Amino acid sequence: MQVKAAVAYKSGTPLSIETVELAGPKAGEVLVEIKASGVCHTDAFTLSGDDPEGIFPAILGHEGAGVVVEVGAGVASVKPGDHVIPLYTPECRQCEYCLSQKTNLCQAIRTTQGQGVMPDGTSRFSLQGKPIFHYMGTSTFAQYTVMPEISVAKIREDAPFDKVCYIGCGVTTGIGAVINTAKVQPGDRVVVFGLGGIGLNVIQGARMVGASMIIGVDVNPSRQVLAEKFGMTHFVNPREVDGDLVAYLVSLTKGGADHSFECVGNVDLMRQALECCHKGWGVSTIVGVAGAGKEISTRPFQLVTGRVWKGSAFGGARGRTDVPRIVDWYMEGKINIDDLITHVMPIEQINEAFDLMHEGKSIRSVVTF
Ligand code: NAD
Ligand code: AHE
Ligand code: ZN
């Protein structure tokens, strides 16, 4: 079939709206009509050329919601008409990783997903006979996309696509990092570096679990008002701090944070996030994605003296199990998504969504089809 899609031809250039060819789902795959898709900083990261796995031409997008249109042979868990959220972290429930119950990082299709193809090694997308690569197994910047069955979470049908698409990455990543990965406890003092689409969800999660102090750190002062609405108790603009930021945060938290989260993707901030943690027990969770060639560093003494460095992908969530529950939380009013979706636009204007992100003017832009 012919489908409208935003194609990334090469790194560092705007996306191009094209009509591309999409082949139907093969065995174990599903064809999904994407109704809405958020634009995450990771899409911009890959488009910038900083992603070691970046591969072009590709159809980016990994924060979508839509409807199953057709299923391939052997697909049993979803049927045409089902509403779904695509999962860049699938959940096969059969691989060593899924069965371990120690991680959400299902590895059933990770190799081919990273190569931009379906599990059989081929792409379903093409243009003028040449393949276009899939992205993160989802490619939600297309009106229709094909995914493995294990890469979709079935959700309730009364949930609005243009809101719950954000659960496909940002909401789940932020709240999940707090609940699943860090396991923040009531009364904990929390520091969040980066108050964008992910960091504000970390703040929302920290408030949900009863953190007593939630400090937000961002160089963009316009983030303060919204962050306070989501539960931030103190705002710190590093550019307005006299002297060392780490010492300032340790003092503000009266000895160091119980938990910190890096939600920017900057390795210098990752070090500050670790070092502002409390001696003996503070845990720092890296959520931000750093570019090719970047490495983190600290004095090993920071770890010897009890600080812990962790990382979190997709908030430690098992998508097919956890995503429908998070959609329920939204529909029950337990979490706020609406105030974080600052811009909605047709797919034709997707490059404006990237501009707004880079200018610090949006939290989440959602494109619709
Ligand atoms: P965003 O652009 O919405 O927000 C980034 C925020 O960081 C902005 O508010 C910006 O002002 C702030 N910032 C930039 N430089 C800063 C500095 N030096 N000090 C303090 N604040 C600074 O991005 P996002 O969508 O929230 O994504 C954040 C990061 O999380 C990205 O690296 C993204 O790739 C990553 N991410 C990771 C996962 C995961 O599963 N681990 C999932 C989604 C996104
Ligand atoms: N491909 C990059 C890493 C990108 C990355 O870390 N992706 C996160 C999700 S970001 C969503 O916005 C993730 O889940 N990673 C786990 C995985 O298996 O990809 C690189 O550095 O090569
Ligand atoms: Zn994302």
| CATH code of the domain in which 38 resides | 3.90.180.10
Q: Is the CB of 294 under 6 A from ligand 2?
A: no
Distance from the CA of 19 to the center of ligand 1, in angstroms?
31
45 Cα nearest atom in ligand 2? 4
Ligand lying closest to the C-alpha of residue 89:
2
Give the per-residue pLDDT at 313: 98
Query: Which residue's CA is the closest to the ligand 2 atom numbered 8?
Result: 313
In this prediction the pTM is 0.98
> Do 72 and 192 fall within a single domain?
no
Ligand lying closest to the C-alpha of residue 168:
3
- 247: its two tokens: 């010492």
Q: Is the CB of 180 under 6 A from ligand 2?
A: no
Q: What is the Cα–Cα distance from 1 to 328, expressed in whole angstroms?
A: 33
Burial class (CB in 10 A: 0-12, 13-18, 19+), 333: exposed
Count of structural domains, the chain: 2
Inside any domain, residue 129: yes
Q: Is the CB of 51 under 6 A from ligand 2?
A: yes
Contacts for 31 with CB less than 8 Å, ≥ 6 apart: 22, 24, 25, 68, 69, 70, 71, 144, 145, 146
Contacts for 290 with CB less than 8 Å, ≥ 6 apart: 265, 266, 267, 270, 296
Q: Is the CB of 89 under 6 A from ligand 2?
A: yes
Contacts for 318 with CB less than 8 Å, ≥ 6 apart: 91, 98, 104, 106
Give the per-residue pLDDT at 214: 99
Q: What is the Cα–Cα distance from 60 to 289, expressed in whole angstroms?
A: 16
> Do 21 and 161 fall within a single domain?
yes
- Which ranges of the chain would DSSP assign to H, the alpha helix? 41-48, 96-100, 110-114, 161-164, 170-176, 199-208, 224-229, 245-252, 267-275, 300-304, 319-331, 350-358
* Total residues found in the chain within this entry: 369
Task: Give the residue carrying structure tokens 């307005």.
Answer: 240
Distance from the CA of 42 to the center of ligand 3, in angstroms?
5
Residue 122: other Cβ atoms inside 10 A: 13
Query: Which residue's CA is the closest to the ligand 1 atom numbered 30?
Result: 288
ipTM for the complex?
A: 0.99
Query: Which residue's CA is the closest to the ligand 2 atom numbered 5?
Result: 289
Distance of CA 8 to the CA centre of its chain: 19
Q: What is the Cα–Cα distance from 145 to 155, expressed in whole angstroms?
A: 18
Q: Is the CB of 172 under 6 A from ligand 1?
A: no
Distance from the CA of 106 to the center of ligand 1, in angstroms?
24
Helix (H) or strand (E) holding 276: none
DSSP code, position 109: T
Inside any domain, residue 322: no
Inside any domain, residue 56: yes
Inside any domain, residue 177: yes
Burial class (CB in 10 A: 0-12, 13-18, 19+), 315: buried
> Do 154 and 180 fall within a single domain?
no
> Do 25 and 156 fall within a single domain?
yes
> Do 175 and 272 fall within a single domain?
yes
Which CATH number is 283's domain given? 3.40.50.720
Task: Give the residue carrying structure tokens 């949900």.
Answer: 208
Q: At 319, is the secondary structure helix, strand, or coil?
A: helix
Active site residues: 40-42, 62-63, 92, 95, 98, 106, 110, 169, 364
> Do 26 and 154 fall within a single domain?
yes
> Do 101 and 48 fall within a single domain?
yes
Give the per-residue pLDDT at 97: 98
Give residue 302's domain range: 171-313
- 237: its two tokens: 């603009």
Inside any domain, residue 24: yes
Q: What is the Cα–Cα distance from 113 to 135, expressed in whole angstroms?
A: 7
Query: Which residue's CA is the closest to the ligand 2 atom numbered 2?
Result: 51
> Do 164 and 199 fall within a single domain?
no
Query: What residues form DSSP beta bridges with 70?
Result: 31
Helix (H) or strand (E) holding 149: none
Distance from the CA of 218 to the center of ligand 1, in angstroms?
10
Inside any domain, residue 16: yes
> Do 16 and 162 fall within a single domain?
yes
Side-chain-facing half-sphere of 227: CA atoms under 13 Å: 29
Task: Give the residue carrying structure tokens 């911009």.
Answer: 44
User: Which residues place a Cβ less than 5 A from the ion ligand 3?
Assistant: 40, 42, 169
Distance from the CA of 173 to the center of ligand 3, in angstroms?
8
Inside any domain, residue 225: yes
* 350-358 vs 41-48: helix crossing angle, rounded to 10: 90
> Do 150 and 272 fall within a single domain?
no
Inside any domain, residue 325: no
> Do 208 and 102 fall within a single domain?
no
> Do 230 and 264 fall within a single domain?
yes
Distance from the CA of 109 to the center of ligand 1, in angstroms?
27
Burial class (CB in 10 A: 0-12, 13-18, 19+), 187: exposed
Ligand 2 pocket mutation pick from 46, 50, 88 by most atoms within 8 angstroms of CB: 88
Per-residue pLDDT of the chain (369 residues; tens, 9 = 90+): 999 999 999 999 999 999 999 999 999 999 999 999 999 999 999 999 999 999 999 999 999 999 999 999 999 999 999 999 999 999 999 999 999 999 999 999 999 999 999 999 999 999 999 999 999 999 999 999 999 999 999 999 999 999 999 999 999 999 999 999 999 999 999 999 999 999 999 999 999 999 999 999 999 999 999 999 999 999 999 999 999 999 999 999 999 999 999 999 999 999 999 999 999 999 999 999 999 999 999 999 999 999 999 999 999 999 999 999 999 999 999 999 999 999 999 999 999 999 999 999 999 999 999
107: closest CA among 99, 95, 122, 121? 95
Q: Is the CB of 161 under 6 A from ligand 2?
A: no
- 329: its two tokens: 């939380």
Q: What is the Cα–Cα distance from 352 to 135, expressed in whole angstroms?
A: 20
Q: What is the Cα–Cα distance from 157 to 147, expressed in whole angstroms?
A: 20
- 211: its two tokens: 């953190």
Ligand 1 pocket mutation pick from 37, 39, 42 by most atoms within 8 angstroms of CB: 42
